[in-house]
Amino acid sequence: MGYFYIIGTILFTVYGQLIIKWRVGRYGALPETLIEKLRFLVKVFSDIYILSGFLSAFVASVLWIGAMTKFEISYAYPFMSLSFVLVFFSSIFLFNESISLLKVVGLLIIVLGVIITSKSL
C-alpha cells in the first residue's frame, strides 16, 4: 500500500504541473503593471482547470502523508524525481517542448539514482 501513496503523489503532482502549464499559457505573459497583474491573477485563479491543478497538489500532499507513514523519507523522496521524467516526456507530446542530449542524460541519471536508492531498503 505504501507504493500506492508514492505513485499517487507522483501522478497528482504531474497532473497539476501539466494542467497549470497548459492553462496559464492561454493567458499570455504576466503583465508589467500591478493592476494588470491583479487582473491576470483573477483570471488565472478563476480558471476551473487551474483550480483542479491546485486541488491535485493538495491530493498529492495527502497521499505523501500516507507515504511518510510507510517509508523513511530518505527512501521515498527520491521516487518523487520520477515526476521530472513524466513531466519531461509529457511536455514533449503535449507542448512540443524540445529534447536535447543533455536533458536525456540528466533524466537517465535521475532514473539511475532512483534505482540505486530503491535497492537500499
Which tens digit of pLDDT belongs to each residue from 70-105?
A: 999 988 988 898 898 999 999 999 999 999 999 999
Domain containing residue 74: 2-118
Total-model pTM: 0.85
Torsion of the alpha carbons at 27, 31, 34 and 39, rounded to the nearest 10: -20
Q: How many domains does the chain have?
A: 1
pLDDT value for 75: 87
Residue 4 grid coordinates: 500506492
pLDDT value for 121: 62
Which of 49, 64, 62, 65 is CA-nearest to residue 16? 49
pLDDT tens for each residue of the chain, 121 residues long: 889 999 999 999 999 999 999 999 899 899 999 999 999 999 999 999 999 999 999 999 999 999 999 999 988 988 898 898 999 999 999 999 999 999 999 999 988 988 888 787 6
Q: What's the first-to-final CA gap in the chain, in angstroms? A: 16
pLDDT value for 118: 79
